[in-house]
Amino acid sequence: MESGIRKTAVIRQEENRHENGDDFLAVEEPLEIQLEYGDEHNRRTHSLSITMRTPGNDMELTAGFLLTEGIVKHYSDILNIKHTQTLPGVESNYVLAQLSPNLQFDMSKLERHFYTTSSCGVCGKSSIESLKSTLPFAQSEEKPATISPDIIYSLPQKLRDAQTAFESTGGIHASGLFDLQGNLLALREDVGRHNALDKLIGWALMNNKLPLHDCIVLLSGRASFELVQKCAMAGVKTICAVGAPSSLAVESSHDFGITLIGFLRNRRYNVYHPSASSG
């Protein structure tokens, strides 16, 4: 059984009947991300973040998180990512990311950044403008690519067909990466929608696929500001979401030059970018 799925006993009740059986759950466990940084003569270790995630693809999750939080811009900024405190037969909930000595890194600035983004600081135009200055890839002046409605309509079913954990548990988010012809390039699942996207972006970073200008990201749920920001950091130009976007997600997609599509289901969708050209 996959590390991200766990079996449990249940009693199924329907009308006046019940029966004993088994159910499968998406695993949710903490992952602590630690950083090792500094020059060759002065290396330090710092606990950066704890996230509740579904075990699996932890290295990709860490790499994607480091990119989308603006800590690294290239995979070469990372010397190594590894589990720590491992026991035989047990997957560790601790990951150490060792940063290159050549990376200019100020932990005090990073701590201030984390304080604002985890509280009420991420809101409004000023936050969007500040994020623009940290984008690792230049924003393209070209309009987003024209994609036929039939290609867009096809994406949710392709994502669902490839979701092995969702098929078993019914309770997990997914982020899928497609080319402009609608071919699925990669998919990652997690109980946290932001973790699923970080895993996907981490896969792209580790496989030298960035920037993702000529790709579509499909989100299995709603589109929030945080997810749009992460896509912008990866150079994504087209985001589709099965659910609704938030107001700040729409505003930020305009400012980042991203086509944002929401409510993509049952052969219909809404386009929230005024200059988007789909269809």
Question: pLDDT tens-digit profile of 20-61?
Answer: 877 677 788 999 999 999 988 999 999 999 999 999 999 999
Instruction: Say whether pLDDT at 238 is over 90.
Output: yes
- How would residue 143 be classed by pLDDT, with cut points 50, 70 and 90? low
Least confident of 72-86, 104-118, 179-193, 230-244: 104-118
Buried/exposed 136-158: b ≥16 CB within 10 Å, e otherwise: beebeeeebbebeeebbbebbeb
Instruction: Say whether pLDDT at 99 is over 90.
Output: yes
Q: What is the dihedral of CA 194, 196, 197, 199, to 10 degrees?
A: 120
Would the pTM of this model clear 0.85, i.e. be above it?
yes
Instruction: Say whether pLDDT at 76 is over 90.
Output: yes
Closest CA to 123 of 246, 206, 270, 40: 246
Closest CA to 200 of 31, 56, 88: 56
Higher pLDDT, 74 or 25: 74
Tokens standing for residue 230: 């992460």
CA distance 118 to 103: 24
CA distance 71 to 38: 13
pLDDT score at 5: 74
Whether the CB-CB separation of 172 and 195 falls below 8 Å is answered with: no
Instruction: Say whether pLDDT at 277 is over 50.
Output: no
Higher pLDDT, 52 or 167: 52
Least confident of 25-34, 159-168, 177-186: 159-168
Closest CA to 49 of 198, 186, 184, 237: 198
Instruction: Say whether pLDDT at 202 is over 90.
Output: yes
Q: Which active-site residues does the annotation give?
A: 120
For the domain 29-132, what is the CATH code? 3.10.20.10
pLDDT score at 9: 82
What is the residue extent of each domain of the chain?
29-132, 149-271
CA distance 150 to 180: 12
Between strands 29-37 and 184-190, the pairing is unpaired
Between helices 247-256 and 124-132, what is the axis angle to 10°?
40
Report, at the CATH architecture level, how domain 149-271 is classified. 3-Layer(aba) Sandwich (3.40)
Tokens standing for residue 175: 């982020």
Q: What percent of the chain has pLDDT over 90?
A: 58
Tell me whether domains 29-132 and 149-271 share a fold.
no
Higher pLDDT, 74 or 108: 74
Tokens standing for residue 8: 């449990």
Helices vs. strands in the chain: H and E counts, helices first? 8, 12
Point out which residues pair with 269 in neighbouring strands. none
Distances (CA, A) of 36 to 12, 53, 70, 71, 135: 48, 22, 16, 12, 23
Higher pLDDT, 126 or 98: 98
Instruction: Say whether pLDDT at 178 is over 90.
Output: yes
Q: What is the dihedral of CA 259, 196, 224, 257, to 10 degrees?
A: -20
- How would residue 168 be classed by pLDDT, with cut points 50, 70 and 90? low
Instruction: Say whether pLDDT at 116 is over 50.
Output: no
